[in-house]
Amino acid sequence: MNLGLNDKVILVSGGAKGIGAGICKILAAEGAIPVIIGRNEADNISMLNELGGRCFYVTAELTDPAACNRAVELVVAKFNRIDGLVNNAGVNDGVGLEKGDYEAFMASLHKNLVHYYLLAHHALPYLVKSKGSIVNIGSKVAETGQGNTSAYAAANGGRNALTREWSVELLKYGIRVNAVIVAESYTPLYEKWINALPNPEEKLRSITEKIPLEKRMTTAEEIANMVAFLLSERSSHTTGQLIHVDGGYTHLDRAL
């Protein structure tokens, strides 16, 4: 797309698999340097090799606040700059109201929300220098509900709120903050969930039939294309937006 991202250093949490991997692939194709921040070193190395070395990685457990800080420090030590941040890592871990508890709820918030804040907080001085952009990946669960996933829904509501809050706070620096909201995308985690159900093929078919546009799931590449656009100067007057890349699932009548 020639988005002007050549040599831009962009952090991507959870960048080794699923949607994060799709984002890293598109960024590398655009000439950027995606920096994977994730817990599994083998997965990080695998993505590094797949991209032909056109990326960097930091192995970090993002539920550890100190690790978030160290990850940013390592990137700055390597490149002396940060041009963008994609907060993506998380998991729909099924911590509900009836069957959950305090410890599980708080642990889920650390998996799905707290590190969004911490990575942005530690990267901010460098984003100010580069006038970079932030993109938060969110889920339609914050708007539609799902059942038995209170913590994940709360975390995604928080992601949406932080997107709007940061876009206001960072106006003075010219830093744009947007969110890409995902509904149904067939990632490895999604596949694991489907296969754990009694009738996975039937369940998958019932889900895709409710997606208005083309009755199919959104691909990681389609999500990544929007992320790359929002990181680039091609979206120079777009901030504080929650952009749904979901085939119309969240807002269109699913009976269509």
* Amino acid in position 231: L
User: Is 249 assigned a catalytic role?
Assistant: no
The alpha carbon of 10 is separated from its chain's Cα centroid by a whole number of angstroms, namely 13
Q: Pick the catalytic residue from 57, 116, 126, 152.
A: 152
DSSP letter string, the chain: ---S-TT-EEEEETTTSHHHHHHHHHHHHTT-EEEEEES-HHHHHHHHHHTTT-SEEEE--TTSHHHHHHHHHHHHHHHS---EEEE---------SSS--HHHHHHHHIIIIIHHHHHHHHHHHHHHHHT-EEEEEEETHHHH--SS-HHHHHHHHHHHHHHHHHHHHTGGGT-EEEEEEE-----HHHHHHHHTSSSHHHHHHHHHTT-TTTTSPPPHHHHHHHHHHHHSGGGTT--S-EEE-STTTTTS-TT-
Catalytic positions: 152
